[in-house]
Amino acid sequence: MKKYYATAIVKFKTSVLEPQGKAILLSLSEKGHKEFSQIRVGKFIEVELVAENDREAQAKISQLAEDYLYNSVMETCELKVVAQES
């Protein structure tokens, strides 16, 4: 078994209203920062896992993401899996 490190970046789809980003943008605007036109907030998730090989590691993290990390109706998810050095 080999150790892997995976990251998932979860963001709302552009067609979905993202209220936390809108609140930050409004707050900045109220403080005189008019140079910002859009802010969107997402999630950055780090995972360590073990697998037999790269393909299995990718499959495991993909399944985890689909089942638990994001809602495919409203969000997108970028995954990156890297083998850890021994």
By C-alpha distance, which of 21, 56, 18, 53 is closest to 39?
A: 21
For the segment 42-67, the average pLDDT, to the nearest whole number, is 98
pTM of the model: 0.86
DSSP lists the bridge partners of residue 45 as: 8
Say which amino acid occupies 56. Answer: E
Whether residue 63 has pLDDT greater than 80: yes
By C-alpha distance, which of 26, 23, 46, 42 is closest to 34?
A: 26
pLDDT at position 12, please?
96
> 2-83 in CATH: which number?
3.30.1280.10
Tokens of 65: 């993401």
pLDDT in tens, 17-45: 999 999 999 999 999 999 999 999 999 99
Task: Report the share of the chain in percent with pLDDT over 90.
Answer: 98
